[in-house]
Structure 1
């Protein structure tokens, strides 16, 4: 078993610290101000409502769900290396997806569905689009695409879904056919889906924002997970790469007990097959 060298661990932590700082900086920075045509008013004239899944709940989710999940796994395995690797992976997945989302938000500048209510709180829309609302609300109103809630929830809960699937061997012969294992994998994805859907229900995002944000978050989660853990189809899917010795890197996708050596065809069998093909 190997562990991260001290200098390498420091580098990994510095990368995450940079992403965290970059995320919170870009989260409040102003972005591109997109022009709105009168014909588009109906797209951005929805009422302002409270978030059905507020940001405070989102941060409780993305910060504590990895900690709780990893602690439960550690309680049974007592594997400190796996705990460190999973926490490094989940942190990277969350803040990498969040940083990418913020950069795209700033570049696109798509207004939210409730933008006109933010821009003109009194309901008197001015075609010159000189906003009268709170400056912070207006700046945030231009950051609809893609959805940050969707990206963060899927980057976190999607990573945990893959992590649990690897630990329970859901997609290899060891755990196939077990409904409860599959439900443990689906639950985090359902949770993330409902968070994403809530952003259209409270008029904070368009459906395109939620769709792209979810795909972005899930893609980052998968890429980061595969950096730290083998394929879910391998028998050692529960072991992080850093704990796998070079001799174990070729562990197959199927159980050795299920392997049946192939017997070469005898010359007579080969002749019979050739004759059969000629008659077809």
Structure 2
């Protein structure tokens, strides 16, 4: 009897823009340089100046609008339910488990990077009751009851990563509905508008120093590119009941 073998498809990374790893290196270098500058006491005056300005220009109606808009960056209440909800919808229509892996990947990526970075840098928030010249310090020794998870901004980083996943799943869902391909501008808007809004609102509300938000932007872009490269259709999965390991869910047209 002739023995049959299964030929595995080669893993090919999905394309990202700009192409290549050079841009990832630029983002990483910029994040390291920013962190080192803050640790050396540089740029702290910028943080303090922005803090003073937003505190002096935050009328109650504007604050309420900013609070509502900032919900775009809420991971547990908005981003995770939205992503996994879209994943379930695509999974049901394609009868494949692969769309659910996108949300799992985003969760794992953010959990093992953003949170540990906050614990490591140990920075207070602009709204801290400590004197500003103390709360603005990075790698500080803060009191046990002090909020010390400011750097980098998790709202900004998470928004970039999760809305990248949302854009991917929206494209997959539209294909399952036999709808015309959405314009690329739609996916650009999904990826760009929420992070820009969250960047501005977290800084305006005094929930993060502006350098926290810049660091969150750099880290989010770096991690978002890593997540965007994952070849979801080619990830090796065991044969599952009902063939739910099937491929052909995603394309590279984003």
- TM band (smaller chain): 0.5 to 0.7
The runs of at least 4 aligned residues of structure 1 exceeding 6 Å deviation read: 34-37, 48-51, 166-169
Matched, 1:145 2:151: yes
Aligned-partner Cα distance in 2 for 1:77–1:65: 18
Provide structure 1 residue ranges, at least 5 long, that are not aligned to the other structure: 3-33, 170-174, 230-238, 255-280
Q: CA deviation at 1:70?
A: 0.5
After TM superposition, the structure 1 = structure 2 runs for residues 34-113 of structure 1, keeping only pairs within 5 Å, are: 40=45, 42=49, 45=52, 47=55, 52=67, 53=70, 57-79=74-96, 81-106=97-122, 109=123, 111-113=124-126
Aligned-partner Cα distance in 2 for 1:215–1:167: 29
Does structure 1 conserve the Cα–Cα contact (< 8 Å) formed by 2:161 and 2:221?
Answer: yes
- Decide which of 205, 209, 215 is 2:208's aligned counterpart: 205
Tell me the secondary structure at the aligned position of residue 113 of structure 1.
Answer: coil
TM-score, with normalisation over the residues of structure 2? 0.53
- Decide which of 234, 241, 248 is 2:235's aligned counterpart: 241
Does structure 2 conserve the Cα–Cα contact (< 8 Å) formed by 1:98 and 1:148?
Answer: yes
Tell me the secondary structure at the aligned position of residue 227 of structure 1.
Answer: coil
Aligned-partner Cα distance in 2 for 1:73–1:148: 27
> Counterpart of 1:217?
220
Does structure 2 conserve the Cα–Cα contact (< 8 Å) formed by 1:94 and 1:156?
Answer: no
> Counterpart of 1:194?
197
- Decide which of 114, 139, 143 is 2:127's aligned counterpart: 114
Does structure 1 conserve the Cα–Cα contact (< 8 Å) formed by 2:51 and 2:126?
Answer: yes
TM-score, with normalisation over the residues of structure 1? 0.49
Closer/same/farther in 2, CA of residues 192 and 146 from structure 1, 3 Å limit = same
Q: CA deviation at 1:193?
A: 2.6
Aligned-partner Cα distance in 2 for 1:202–1:209: 13
Q: CA deviation at 1:104?
A: 4.7
Tell me the secondary structure at the aligned position of residue 242 of structure 1.
Answer: coil
CA deviation vs aligned residue, 1:203-259 (integer Å, no higher than 9, x gap): 222333212202212321321342343xxxxxxxxx34336xxxx9xxxx89xxxxx
Q: CA deviation at 1:198?
A: 1.0
Q: CA deviation at 1:72?
A: 2.2
Structure with max Cα Rg: 1
Does structure 2 conserve the Cα–Cα contact (< 8 Å) formed by 1:148 and 1:213?
Answer: yes
Indicate the RMSD between aligned Cα atoms, in angstroms: 4.7
Q: CA deviation at 1:65?
A: 1.5
Closer/same/farther in 2, CA of residues 85 and 156 from structure 1, 3 Å limit = same
Alignment: residue pair count: 187
Does structure 2 conserve the Cα–Cα contact (< 8 Å) formed by 1:85 and 1:240?
Answer: no
